[in-house]
Structure 1
């Protein structure tokens, strides 16, 4: 069965008809020329044949070649018999050709010989051309036309796009791929883990196409379109594939960039052709991936003017989705991760009636996604899916798929027969931290500083109520970092001020440990400083969590204030002072926590220098259980067995 599928299909091309016709014409011209058996002779040979009166007829062709026909009796002579008996010679055709040079001299010579020797041959003059000569004369023009046809077919994408039909001028045709009952799509809603709300919205659209009377009998109308919005890798295109597999109606799939072309008017023409095809196969679904390629807000780019090619394409799309005569059952699905730049006319109800937000998966959804991606994997008994789901906050579905694949590669690299839990943890480290650099040269002094830095993070986070619980600490270099501490953050929908301050304090714990133990600070805290500066700025300017600045936000979700500072110089000075005060306050707080636990900090750093990687169990042995009870007992379900 598989061999049959892999066999290339025979595709007929009309140009193949011209090849045998051309060959037959050349063959006919070649065989009918009558000169296949003719042999060219010299002046002496011609004079000998002439004097023996063997010539029956001389035909002067094009004033430069003499075709010599022999008498029947002469053809039987020994010197002519070899040519006469050849396979190419036919009776009544010239046996010899003679290039005589000047016509006047030749005619005078044969007339003189004819009178002197009383010869009885005939002479005539003809003008003739062969098909082969004509073809060779026009060969340059034929080649130019053939090259022009070839490039026009390549530019127009003949045979590749829908509606192409092998025509030359089909550049304005739609490039959408059609999925119908003849092209089975195996992806269904069962393959889409998580995304329950988005699946419910999309399933209703599929259900409407399958049984519209269920809704129309109550007066409902079919929605015109649904826009899938969300971060990259969350499953927007996968959801569209599931729709194609479930709908049971023609499904046209293409990207927003497929409308873009170097020729003017092509985009609008392709939009018209796409909707024309969809209406002919109604009810049907059109899916436009990355619609921001053509749906960007009009009039925002002053450099190209207001009537460029992209805007013409968008105008045509708006007209097709909500214009006169749009009463056919064609639903438009679209996906983008840049909904903020889309044109307002495209986003309004009546075009995209529903905007479905496909968010990053939460804990429960990550567990479901893991269940999907581990099915083809050979797992060991120690794999804890619950822990992996908790260990990967902020991972998209694509990230989880990549993590599972990376774990399989790590296990195969170590010649294991199954994928163990540690392989998944190593995959997380590989994706987040980067490749482990075992050969990186680090001096013992640098290693000690790194150990205390990471131990400072671990100690402060362990002593703070709202800081994320620690999973492991390492001083093995990865990527651009010399060490790292891995935490298990809670699944929070809102964050309070105390929680943000505790996280900032834990982040500053590394630099505070360096200051406390060595009375020096290093450049190793760059990423920590960047993180806390962003958090402090967000507290003051975005979330309104600062008492001095007040309940004001300077954040514009539309993104229109990128070149405008929305506050005065005096306010800017206050903002800078408050950001600095927040960061320095948490730095001093971290130093105080470390001073109170300096002996435990030293013990932890020594253990880290010895083992290079320590886990939560090691912290419990040194610090004991955390000195407070969490409101949400997320750590109770975590297995720390490695």
Structure 2
């Protein structure tokens, strides 16, 4: 009952408040309108005591003057004449008709007209008076409209002041559009604030895989929710966490999940938001950001792409000018762990270039934790597929394990793209649901590019492409450590005229024999051209680029070459790319070049020997490829038989061939 009474009492108050809100509010524009109206009224009604006289012309005036009807002429402001008639003239029919029923007194002009030059008018008037012996008097008068003159004088100043007030209000409000709308707020933070009342619906359930990263991030969220659980044992809240990993692995998605789970104010912005052409703006925005975060403590700050402002500071400033980026970084370092206290303010940051960040930013007390967000493995890819397939209408019994196996090395963003492309392909075909073949076509579309069915290829070129791709397939089938074959096609895609798809084994460490087998399989295409046509072509460009990088890595990075030895010239800090000298001598450089060449040439000779040994099967496979344009693993099993190392290969489900 008490609650009902309270509600009934509040209703009249609420209605009263609503009625108050409906009343028109006072606005300064009302005063401006009243002043303008007053000026117009004064100007309109202050023209004199008489109504407007009848209009006439200087020629008619001369006729009236000659007839003796004009008693007096008043010349006003040297350009206008007012004509006063005599008593006889007022009684004449011509004037009664022109003037009308207007009563004419001695102070009321009957006519008025404007003339050009005053001197000419005076000469004609004098001449007419002398010729007709007239007693007409001429009077000169000067009239002025005080209010009109004041209005004309003040109007330009009023317009300038009004424009100035308008511009200043737009500039200072911060809400004004255009590039000038933030002049006075340029030092303010551009961070977007999310809190528990916003529409951030992402939670940790929406983040598939990334178990280790989620565990560490979850601990930070728990600390904000129940700090006493940790502080009771003497623990302190971490100052910051840095999310590091390749593009598309879910770093920003993890931050969104934190915003959805933490239930505390969440400030989100990009590292480039601090960068501005004005000196000192970046540091000012950092100060303002942390000031807002402290006011809403406990809170979280998320800086995406922090490498925009967190790059390592130079040891010397060659330009001699002020480095705005370094000033911004210095202010960020001070705010994160300086003399001031940032109680319960956690900084999350994300980057895929942790190697270029400043060491002072990475130390304990600033970014206490570095969370590496790696590419997903087989199990995590399956979980990611489950998340992205929720809104998609797919076929029943779709094997997610199979899809996960077909996408090695794919990031979470790549898998999301695969699901979207599959849905588009299925819709293009007119299917009612997205099927297995649609996903395979989507993978082909993303890896190889758009299929170009209308590309004109001569029969000779098509034959060369077929033997090139058949060479890849044959060599990889014969080698133990080469990646298992999935599909071979000679249909042009993107910039390639043909392609062979493999399913590489996901290894954590790679041995020399495995790398050599992969190099040999890569060179199988050019080797097949040499074996069949005794000629080579430019079609092996991407193959040569790949094996050259692999061979250089074996020699200079991984120390897998006997001649060079157990040395590496790899610099994990990323600073070597800015050096002007190589970390080895010219003699060593010659040895490196020679060893790289020997590795590639030995594998090329090995591929030629393999193809010479199985030349008949190579020709048979190329003919099948020319006929069908796309062949699968079962076609190779028909020609070559089962591989001797099938027990080592990743078990692959048979891929359904597209129906013709």
Shorter-chain-normalised TM-score: which range?
A: 0.7 to 0.9
Within 5 Å, give how 1:509-520 maps onto structure 2.
Answer: 509-520=524-535
Q: Determine the structure 1 residue equivalent to 2:17.
A: none
Q: For residues 486 and 601 of structure 1, what CA distance do their matches in structure 2 show?
A: 18
Q: Determine the structure 2 residue equivalent to 1:605.
A: 622
Q: Determine the structure 1 residue equivalent to 2:356.
A: 341
1:18-57 CA-partner distances (Å, limit 9, x unpaired)? 65543332222112324487577767999989x99999xx
Gaps of 5+ in 1: 1-15, 85-92
1:224-258 CA-partner distances (Å, limit 9, x unpaired)? 11111111111111111111111111111111111
Q: For residues 468 and 336 of structure 1, what CA distance do their matches in structure 2 show?
A: 32
1:450-476 CA-partner distances (Å, limit 9, x unpaired)? 111111111111111111100011111
- Aligned residue pairs total 606
How much has 1:303 moved relative to structure 2? 4.7
Q: For residues 433 and 264 of structure 1, what CA distance do their matches in structure 2 show?
A: 47
**Structure 1 residues 126 and 461, CA, compared in 2 at 3 Å: closer, same or farther?**
closer
For the residue of structure 1 that corresponds to 2:432, the secondary structure is coil
Matched, 1:362 2:371: no
How much has 1:406 moved relative to structure 2? 1.2
Q: Determine the structure 2 residue equivalent to 1:635.
A: 651
Q: Determine the structure 1 residue equivalent to 2:632.
A: 615
Work out which of the residue numbers 513, 517, 520 in structure 2 matches 1:505: 520
How much has 1:487 moved relative to structure 2? 0.4
How much has 1:641 moved relative to structure 2? 3.1
Q: For residues 429 and 470 of structure 1, what CA distance do their matches in structure 2 show?
A: 14
1:42-83 CA-partner distances (Å, limit 9, x unpaired)? 67999989x99999xx9978x87799999xxx9xx9977899
Matched, 1:134 2:144: no
Q: For residues 52 and 245 of structure 1, what CA distance do their matches in structure 2 show?
A: 97
Give the TM-score normalised by the residue count of structure 1.
0.84
Q: Determine the structure 2 residue equivalent to 1:588.
A: 605
Q: For residues 509 and 341 of structure 1, what CA distance do their matches in structure 2 show?
A: 39
Q: Determine the structure 1 residue equivalent to 2:8.
A: none
1:565-623 CA-partner distances (Å, limit 9, x unpaired)? 11112211211121111111111221222222222212111111110100111111111
**Structure 1 residues 194 and 65, CA, compared in 2 at 3 Å: closer, same or farther?**
farther
Work out which of the residue numbers 23, 28, 32 in structure 1 matches 2:33: 23
What's the Cα RMSD here?
4.0
Within 5 Å, give how 1:126-205 maps onto structure 2.
Answer: 128=146, 129-130=148-149, 132-138=151-157, 141-142=160-161, 145=164, 149=167, 153=170, 158-159=174-175, 169-205=184-220
Matched, 1:472 2:487: yes
How much has 1:307 moved relative to structure 2? 3.3
Q: Determine the structure 2 residue equivalent to 1:6.
A: none
Give the TM-score normalised by the residue count of structure 2.
0.81
Q: For residues 281 and 557 of structure 2, what CA distance do their matches in structure 1 show?
A: 44
Gaps of 5+ in 2: 1-25, 91-95
Q: For residues 187 and 506 of structure 2, what CA distance do their matches in structure 1 show?
A: 50
Q: Is the 8 A contact 1:65 1:98 kept in 2?
A: yes
**Structure 1 residues 43 and 180, CA, compared in 2 at 3 Å: closer, same or farther?**
farther
Q: Is the 8 A contact 1:387 1:639 kept in 2?
A: no
Q: For residues 416 and 352 of structure 2, what CA distance do their matches in structure 1 show?
A: 19
Q: Is the 8 A contact 2:483 2:518 kept in 1?
A: yes
Work out which of the residue numbers 43, 51, 56 in structure 2 matches 1:33: 43
Q: Determine the structure 1 residue equivalent to 2:589.
A: 572
**Structure 1 residues 594 and 268, CA, compared in 2 at 3 Å: closer, same or farther?**
same
1:303-354 CA-partner distances (Å, limit 9, x unpaired)? 5447311111111111111122224221111111111111111111111111
Q: Determine the structure 2 residue equivalent to 1:286.
A: 301
Q: Specify the structure having the higher radius of gyration (Cα).
A: 2
Q: For residues 596 and 622 of structure 2, what CA distance do their matches in structure 1 show?
A: 31
**Structure 1 residues 207 and 83, CA, compared in 2 at 3 Å: closer, same or farther?**
farther
Q: Determine the structure 1 residue equivalent to 2:450.
A: 435
Q: Is the 8 A contact 1:229 1:356 kept in 2?
A: yes
Q: For residues 375 and 546 of structure 2, what CA distance do their matches in structure 1 show?
A: 21
Q: For residues 102 and 536 of structure 2, what CA distance do their matches in structure 1 show?
A: 106
Q: Is the 8 A contact 1:450 1:475 kept in 2?
A: yes
1:452-511 CA-partner distances (Å, limit 9, x unpaired)? 111111111111111110001111111111111100111111111111111111111111
Q: For residues 604 and 251 of structure 2, what CA distance do their matches in structure 1 show?
A: 42
Q: For residues 333 and 307 of structure 2, what CA distance do their matches in structure 1 show?
A: 14
Q: For residues 574 and 506 of structure 1, what CA distance do their matches in structure 2 show?
A: 25
**Structure 1 residues 529 and 96, CA, compared in 2 at 3 Å: closer, same or farther?**
farther
1:516-566 CA-partner distances (Å, limit 9, x unpaired)? 122222211111111111111100110011111111101111122223211
Q: Is the 8 A contact 1:436 1:477 kept in 2?
A: yes
